[in-house]
Every structure is written in structure tokens, then in C-alpha cells.
Structure 1
Amino acid sequence: MADKIIEVNSIYEKVHEYCKDYLTDEPADLSVEMTAEDIIYEKQKSDSEFAYEGKELPNFSDDLLEETAVYRKIAEYMPNYDTFVFHGSVIAVEGQGFLFTAKSGTGKSTHTRLWREYLGDKAVMVNDDKPMLKITDTGVIAYGTPYNGKHRLGCNMSVPLKAICILTRGEKNSIVPIGKTEAYSMLLQQVYRPQDPLQMAKTLKLVDRMAESIELYRLACNMDMEAAEVAYNGMKG
């Protein structure tokens, strides 16, 4: 993932099935070792979040909890390689990547589906939930990951990221460029925030570099097909 070979030593086999499109026999750059304590932590964290929201506590299986634990450990490591996990939906069009992000329930996946309908074979889904973004001296590269949402939309590929677009709901479709200051709060909300303070500091620096080197937009959209047309024409250059 993100040009790094990650060895995963898991308790259960399910995580390897989940990541089967990313399997390789090349030597590892880093290793993730799973323990029973990691699964217990994910169980406690999940129960706490559901209880806070007043929802019935879930009954996730241990192998499913381990999948989340593997994702978390990988995400904690990645800032060492100028890379972080970002919550959004990335689509590639003619060799350029466009990332849509928003608060949950706003319609990121719906919007990228409209792009695929509008552009047909020109549009390829990179990742529909948790892509990795690598910050380089020449720009940002978006990578697919196994963590691609409930519909499993995405593939093992990378693409130079041209723009990030923050979605909002609106009756009329319109898109405007925005600056780092206006976008920064949403960028921080959507990036994976490591628990380790040093890794968090690295992540904040990477977000700063990203916000200064990439095009940023805000799109008001009503989820009609016209929304995809307005967004694409506004960002393609």
C-alpha cells in the first residue's frame, strides 16, 4: 500500500482475504504484529462510541475487529513515509485524481457515482472511503487501499491528485475555489489522527504541505447529474 510492503502477522485469516488484492511476496518495509489486546481495544472503543451515540452495542466478531486493528496500526505508521489515511472518495479521470470529502452522510459516494455515470469509462474509482495520500516535493499522490467502503469500490492503483473538493448540500449546483484557511478545518477532521503525539505532529505538517500544494474547492450540489458536470468542468482545468 502506498508503495510500501507491509507484513501483517494476524491471529485470524479474514484480514488476508480482505486485503487479497494487495498481496505480494516482496520483502517487507514494515511489519504489523497483532495481539489479543489489540482486538480487546477495538471492542472497547467500538462499544464506547456506540454508547456515546445512544445506540445498541454492536456484536462484532473478533476477526472483524482485527481488521480494524490492522488498519489502525498501519495508519499509525504511515506518517513515517510522508503518507496518511484520509476519509474521502477518490476518482481518477484521464490520469488525474479528484478527491471528494465531507461530513458523513453528505453524499461523497453518491457524487462519485454520478461522475462515473457522466464520464463513463474515462472515470476509474480509486477508493471510496479511506485512500492514502502521499505528500511529495512535486505534489500529492492518491493510493487505493483495501479499506474502500461498504460497497468495496476501488482498486490497487495510484494517481496524481489534482484537487480536493469539500461537498455541501445545495439546491443549485455551484463550485468555487477556496484557500487553505477555509478548507483547513475539514481537512483536519477527515485525516486519520494518530494516537502517538510524534506521529500526530508529522501528520499536521503533512496536511499543511498538502493544503499549500493542491487545488481546493467547495461544491454545493443537489445530487442531480448536473452536479457531476459542474464539478468536473470546474476542476479539470
Structure 2
Amino acid sequence: MFKGKYKFAEKVVEIKSVNDKVQKYCAGYESENATDFSVETNEKDIENEKEITRKEYEFEGKPVPAYSDGVYESTAVYRKIAEKMPDYDSFVFHGSVIAVDGEGYLFTAKSGTGKSTHTRLWREYFGEKAVMVNDDKPIIKVTDDGVTVYGTPYNGKHRLGTNISVPLKAICILERGEKNEIVRISKSDAYAMLLQQVYRPKDALQMAKTLRLIDEMADSVRLYRLACNMDIEAAKVAYSAMKE
């Protein structure tokens, strides 16, 4: 058994794992502070992740990837963390977050739409002014003081992210389009996508807390829909609208 303590969204989590790859994956987030909660994984958790992955890929008609047990266990660890985060007014969200001038912009969409490609365009357009917070599964915290987004080691296959936190300025739902056009949308227009992209806990009470947090987040940040192509102008159009 391997173990270590790591800080995610201001909470220190003790992780006990079968594979040391889990601990290595979380490098850069180590903490020596008091533990807020612990998670522990075992061989059964690994097999469960394998089964979830198999069903997902077979449903999509894709070949099942040959991931290592360490990769599957890392996913199991984050699933357990995500189940606990609503207790701390936080949740895991599927999206790509980039910060410009210390403010975060979150892009979300159906898989394969181009979230990572779009934030790459931001990095090309802004250069060093743009900082990747997380390219896959950031943690979002909602309090009376506002909405904050945190980097985590679960930052996508290209490992694009930073161990920082920034206030969340806006959320943008991406769609493919020939012309770059962005419009502000209402909470009701965005809600279905927000619910789809949030981690949905199995526990009913935790799910109720998550729904409340989504609702509060949608009331606190500006919401947009962007039809975009893969030209760098898409970054300019998006930022010009959302920075106001």
C-alpha cells in the first residue's frame, strides 16, 4: 500500500493506493497539513473502472484502450474524491479552463467538439498572459464570496494545467461553426450542459448538494455559447465578449 497527502481545492486528502503511479500522478500537489479526509482504493475499485471503461467504449463502438492498472486506479481515486467534494461546497467539472489577467474562463462541450483546441488558440493569441489552469477536470468551489476554479493533477492526456486557483469569470459552451459568433445565454439555456458535464455523485444527498452548487454557480458567473472554427480569431472573439 502506498500513501501520500495532497491538497485539492483547499482540502488536504490522504490517498492510499495499490499502485505507486497514483502517488506519482499527483506530484506537485503534495501537502504536509492536517488531513481533511481520506480515500483508499483496492483491486476491486480497479476492476470496477475497467468495467466502466469497457462499457463506455463499446457503447461508442470504439476499441477498448489497454490502460495500466495504475491509470485505472488513478481514475478510481478521483472518483472517490469527487464523491466527497460537495461536502466542501465544491465539485469536479469536465472542461478546459484558462486564465488571463488572473481571471478564469471555462470552456465546456460535448466530447470531441474542441475544448482543448480552443484553449490552445487562447495560448497562441495571448502568449505568456494566458495560463492553463486545467485542461480536463478542474474543481469548482462555490461560496458567498464567488466562484473559484482550481487546477488539479487530473488535467487531461496532455497534462496541461497549473496548481493555482482563480476566480471564474465566465463559462462558455462550445459548438462547431464556420463563423465565430458568441452570444450570452440564460441559466435555463445552459443548465442541461452544466448538468451533463458535472461529476454526478451516486449518493443522493451529495447529488442534491451538487445541484444546489450548480444552480448557485450559474447565478454567479456569466454564461455564453460560442460557435467557432479552429482559427485563432475564435479566441479573440470569445475573449472580447467575455472580458466585459
Superposition TM-score, scaled by structure 1 size: 0.97
Counterpart-to-counterpart distance in 2, 1:162 and 1:134: 13
1:232 aligns with 2:239: yes
Q: How big is the alpha-carbon RMSD for the aligned residues of Structure 1 and Structure 2?
A: 1.0
**Of residues 172, 179, 188 in structure 2, which corresponds to 1:172?**
179
Distance in 2, Cα, partners of 1:11 & 1:31: 15
1:13 aligns with 2:20: yes
CA distance in 2 between counterparts of 1:171 and 1:200 reads: 38
Residue type of the alignment partner of 1:225: I
1 CA distance for matches of 2:178 and 2:54? 37
Q: 1:57 Cα deviation (Å)?
A: 3.4
Distance in 2 (alpha carbons) for counterparts of 1:92 and 1:201: 30
- 1:8-87 to structure 2, matched below 5 A, reads 8-87=15-94
Task: Name which of 95, 101, 119 aligns with 1:112.
Answer: 119
State the Cα deviation string for residues 97-135 of structure 1 (Å, max 9, x = none): 100011111111111111111111111000000000000
Can you list the C-alpha shifts for 1:183-234, whole angstroms capped at 9, x where unaligned?
A: 0010001101111111111111110111111100111111111110000100
Which secondary structure state, in structure 2, belongs to the residue aligned with residue 104 of structure 1? coil
Cα 1:57–1:173 change in 2 (3 A) is: closer
TM-score, scaled to structure 2: 0.94
Q: Provide Cα deviations, 1:53-104, integer angstroms capped at 9, x if missing partner.
A: 2333333322221111001000110000010000000011111110001111
Aligned counterpart, 2:165: 158
Identical-pair percentage: 67
Give ranges in structure 2 of 5+ residues lacking alignment.
1-7
Tell me the amino acid that sits aligned with residue 200 of structure 1.
Answer: M
Distance in 2 (alpha carbons) for counterparts of 1:235 and 1:218: 11
Q: Which residues in structure 2 correspond to 1:165-204 (within 5 Å)? A: 165-204=172-211
| Range with bigger deviation, 167-176 or 58-67 | 58-67
SS of the aligned residue for 2:11 comes to coil
> 4+ residue stretches of structure 1 with deviation over 6 A?
none
Q: 1:36 deviation in Å? A: 1.8
Q: Which amino acid aligns with 1:69?
A: A
Output the CA distance in 2 between the equivalents of 1:175 and 1:26.
43
